[in-house]
């Protein structure tokens, strides 16, 4: 290592930190060939967690030996060759399951240890990697899925994202961080990267320097969700495009060297930023980088939450990008092969993932748009989804995840499709469902967030249930949604949501979205409505 782990003698290091001092997470790549040859039983239990650094989690139950794999897709941009390889992995090893995540990555399930070396080989052949997709390390970089073609971007960030991502890949100077570390880089004016919920985000900015208007970035730090969510704060810095890598290294160095390593639940960068304050944090950055410009102006528009449905003109004359809904982010391998064929036939072969778990086919000439939209697959994966299924996001849930308390993915899909059959609104409502407090499904920024819990019934049975949160947004700096009192049994959730949203429909003003409705009538009235709904349902049951 080129740096000193001066925290190594701290008497209150947690168990994970002590383990990482014995063996760096990236060393698991050296061990996997042996384990693959000798089988799952050859893996010591104490090394199970190290697989995260290779983008691998053991599914539930862990002892069964099946892995989930997450593959990095910086900015969500995939070439046709990459899409074909990913579809092949899902088909050959992942039982046909292909999931798009809320960080633009791809997830596979049902992988076995003897298959991993070949999967790594396939990924490497097309320039993809799962390294650092999980673990206490720099994760994939979230970015603008429309980078380079976006009329709403300040400038193209493709090469900047590539440079920063490649610097941190397999970099053992930054593979022992206190916890996971999430970064976004985007100049999309509608905040397509959800900047405020990342540890560090580079966001579009302009500043007059020597009488010249210069385009660059502002820097936000300290965002993150989970059980104690924080929105990132903007530093008084303006960063030129050529300075992004240097500043990213500086912030990551600060987190590595000063981040908390005593208690895992307090180890994210957001807690260090909250304790230090943004002024001290800014000064610490400049101790590493040297002087930087003070911040400029932010040419932002209304937040789009990562949704790009429909046909849209690109920067390039005569070309279009087309945004499609992938219900709760799940595709089959056969569907992905078909999408790859379509992208190759009508566009330049690329497919781009958005953080709303949806996809975009870019570079489609005007004269080919109609024929593309006529393809059979776009009856399910549509450009004009219904109001609920089109704006529903879900984490993996108990189906595959060891941390989840409830089933989410299929439940969210069923509920959304049922709501679409029973209720028509003039505005979409963004639903995010999560199976545990870790919030991979980002429920804190949803109009309506649904968080899975376990609940004991009157007859002492433990059942799946949900808490409801309302009012999240990332417009104008953002607001995290607020919890409504009351636990909703999983079986009752469809009825509760139908009644709750019917009330919204009846009371809202024409064109009023859910966040504005929540701000206008207030949390107290929404609480009263939910309480009444739950009381009425319980009376029927009893």
165 has a pLDDT exceeding 80: yes
pLDDT at 351: 98
User: How many angstroms separate the most distant Cα atoms in the chain?
Assistant: 74
Q: What is the mean pLDDT of the chain?
A: 96
Alpha carbon distance 381, 312 (integer Å): 17
| Residue 453 burial (C-beta neighbours within 10 Å; 0-12, 13-18, 19+) | middle
The 10 Å Cβ neighbour count of residue 432 is 29
pLDDT at 232: 98
pLDDT band at 542 (very low <50, low <70, confident <90, very high): low
509 has a pLDDT exceeding 90: yes
> Tokens 């930054």 identify what position?
174
pLDDT band at 107 (very low <50, low <70, confident <90, very high): very high
Roughly what angle, to the nearest 10 degrees, separates helices 269-276 and 244-258? Answer: 90
Pick the CATH number of 389-541 from 2.30.30.140, 3.40.50.720, 3.40.50.261, 3.30.413.10: 3.30.413.10
The 10 Å Cβ neighbour count of residue 274 is 14
Q: Which long-range contacts (CB under 8 A, 24 or more apart) does 55-59 make?
A: 55/129, 55/130, 55/131, 55/132, 55/133, 55/134, 56/111, 56/116, 56/130, 56/134, 57/134, 57/401, 57/402, 58/402, 59/109, 59/110, 59/400, 59/401, 59/402
Alpha carbon distance 527, 428 (integer Å): 21
Read off the pTM. Answer: 0.96
User: 200 pairs with which residues across the strands?
Assistant: 183, 221
24 has a pLDDT exceeding 70: yes
Instruction: Tell me the C-alpha to C-alpha distance, in Å, between residue 180 and each of 5, 177, 282.
Output: 18, 7, 21
Task: Look at domain 15-289 and name its CATH class.
Answer: alpha beta
Edge-first strand listing for the sheet containing 200-209: 138-143, 181-185, 200-209, 212-221, 233-234
Integer-rounded Cα radius of gyration of the chain: 23
Instruction: Read off the pLDDT of each residue in 113-130 and give the average, rounded to a whole number.
Output: 98
Alpha carbon distance 58, 53 (integer Å): 12
At 200-211, the pLDDT tens digits run 999 999 999 999
Share of the chain above pLDDT 90, in %: 95
Alpha carbon distance 322, 384 (integer Å): 11
What single string gives the DSSP state of each residue in 470-530? Answer: E--B-GGG-B--EEEEEEEEGGGHHHHHHHHHHHHHHHSPTT--HHHHHHHH-HHHHHHHH
pLDDT at 459: 86
> Tokens 């004359």 identify what position?
317
Report the Cα 337 to chain-centroid distance in Å. 24
Instruction: Read off the pLDDT of each residue in 55-73 and give the average, rounded to a whole number.
Output: 96
Alpha carbon distance 293, 260 (integer Å): 29
pLDDT at 299: 95
468 has a pLDDT exceeding 80: yes
Range in 42-51, 263-272, 300-309, 531-540 with the lowest mean pLDDT: 531-540
How many CA within 13 A on the CB side of residue 108?
Answer: 30
Q: Which long-range contacts (CB under 8 A, 24 or more apart) does 363-367 make?
A: 363/149, 363/314, 363/316, 363/319, 363/320, 363/321, 364/319, 364/320, 364/321, 364/322, 365/318, 365/319, 365/320, 366/318, 366/319, 366/320
Residues annotated as catalytic are 70, 179-180, 435, 440-441
Number of H helices, E strands in the chain: 14, 20
1 has a pLDDT exceeding 70: no
Fold match flag (15-289 vs 389-541): yes
Share of the chain above pLDDT 70, in %: 99
Residue 414 has φ and ψ, to the nearest 5°, of -65, -45
Three-class secondary structure of residue 109 per DSSP = strand
pLDDT at 458: 85
Domain boundaries, the chain: 15-289, 389-541
Alpha carbon distance 161, 157 (integer Å): 6
Three-class secondary structure of residue 233 per DSSP = strand
Instruction: Read off the pLDDT of each residue in 491-512 and give the average, rounded to a whole number.
Output: 97
What single string gives the DSSP state of each residue in 149-196? Answer: T-TTBSS--HHHHHHHHHHHTT-GGGS--SS-EEEEE--BTT-TT-GG
Report the Cα 382 to chain-centroid distance in Å. 22
Handedness of CA 328, 136, 44, 120 (dihedral sign): positive
pLDDT band at 519 (very low <50, low <70, confident <90, very high): very high
pLDDT at 310: 98
182 has a pLDDT exceeding 70: yes
- Residues 221/278, Cβ–Cβ less than 8 Å: yes
pLDDT at 324: 98
Nearest alpha carbon to residue 342 among 327, 323, 364? 364
pLDDT at 541: 63
Instruction: Read off the pLDDT of each residue in 499-522 and give the average, rounded to a whole number.
Output: 97
- The first and second tokens of residue 323, run together, are 């945004």
| Polymer length of the chain | 542
At 297-318, the pLDDT tens digits run 999 999 999 999 999 999 999 9
2 has a pLDDT exceeding 80: no
- Residues 402/64, Cβ–Cβ less than 8 Å: no
pLDDT at 538: 83
Alpha carbon distance 382, 327 (integer Å): 9
């Amino acid at each position: 290592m080129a740096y000193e782990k001066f925290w190594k003698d701290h008497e209150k290091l947690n168990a994970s930190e002590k383990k990482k001092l014995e063996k760096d997470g990236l060393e698991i790549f050296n061990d996997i060939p042996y384990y693959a040859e000798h089988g799952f039983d050859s893996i010591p239990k104490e090394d199970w967690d190290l697989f995260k650094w290779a983008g691998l989690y053991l599914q539930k139950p862990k002892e069964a030996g099946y892995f989930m794999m997450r593959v990095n897709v910086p900015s969500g941009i995939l070439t046709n060759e990459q899409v074909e390889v990913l579809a092949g992995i899902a088909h050959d090893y992942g039982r046909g399951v292909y999931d798009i995540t809320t960080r633009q990555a791809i997830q596979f399930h049902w992988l076995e240890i003897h298959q991993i070396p070949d999967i790594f080989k396939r990924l490497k052949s097309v320039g993809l990697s799962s390294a650092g997709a999980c673990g206490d390390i720099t994760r994939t970089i979230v970015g603008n899925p429309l980078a380079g073609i976006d009329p709403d971007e300040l400038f193209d960030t493709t090469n900047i994202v590539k440079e920063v991502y490649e610097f941190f890949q397999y970099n053992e100077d930054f593979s022992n961080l206190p916890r996971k570390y999430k970064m976004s880089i985007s100049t999309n004016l509608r905040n397509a990267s959800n900047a405020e919920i990342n540890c560090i985000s580079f966001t579009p900015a302009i500043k007059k320097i020597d009488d010249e208007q210069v385009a660059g970035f502002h820097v936000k730090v300290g965002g993150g969700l989970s059980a104690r969510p924080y929105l990132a704060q903007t530093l008084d810095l303006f960063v030129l495009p050529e300075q992004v890598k240097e500043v990213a290294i500086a912030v990551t160095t600060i987190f590595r060297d000063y981040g908390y390593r005593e208690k895992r639940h307090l180890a994210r960068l957001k807690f260090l930023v909250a304790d230090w304050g943004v002024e001290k944090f800014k000064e610490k950055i400049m101790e590493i980088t040297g002087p930087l410009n003070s911040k400029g102006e932010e040419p932002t528009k209304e937040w789009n939450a990562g949704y790009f449905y429909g046909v849209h003109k690109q920067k390039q004359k005569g070309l279009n990008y087309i945004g499609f809904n992938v219900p709760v982010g799940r595709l089959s391998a056969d569907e992905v092969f078909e999408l790859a064929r379509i992208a190759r036939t009508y566009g330049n072969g690329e497919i781009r993932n958005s953080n709303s778990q949806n996809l975009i086919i870019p570079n489609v000439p005007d004269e080919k748009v109609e024929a593309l939209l006529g393809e059979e697959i776009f009856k399910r994966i549509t450009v004009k989804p219904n109001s609920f299924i089109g704006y529903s996001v879900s984490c993996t849930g108990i189906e595959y995840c060891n941390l989840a308390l409830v089933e989410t993915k299929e439940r969210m899909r069923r509920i959304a499709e049922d709501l679409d059959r029973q209720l028509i609104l003039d505005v979409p409502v963004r639903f995010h469902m999560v199976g545990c407090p870790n919030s991979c499904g980002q429920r804190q920024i949803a109009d309506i967030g649904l968080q899975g819990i376990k609940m004991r019934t009157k007859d002492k049975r433990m059942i799946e249930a949900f808490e409801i949160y309302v009012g999240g947004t990332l417009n104008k700096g953002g607001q995290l949604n607020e919890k409504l009192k009351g636990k909703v049994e999983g079986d009752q959730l469809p009825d509760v949501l139908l009644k709750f949203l019917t009330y919204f429909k009846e009371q809202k003003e024409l064109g009023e979205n859910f966040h504005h409705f929540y701000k206008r009538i207030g949390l107290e009235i929404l609480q009263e409505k939910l309480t009444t709904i739950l009381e009425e349902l319980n009376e029927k049951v009893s």
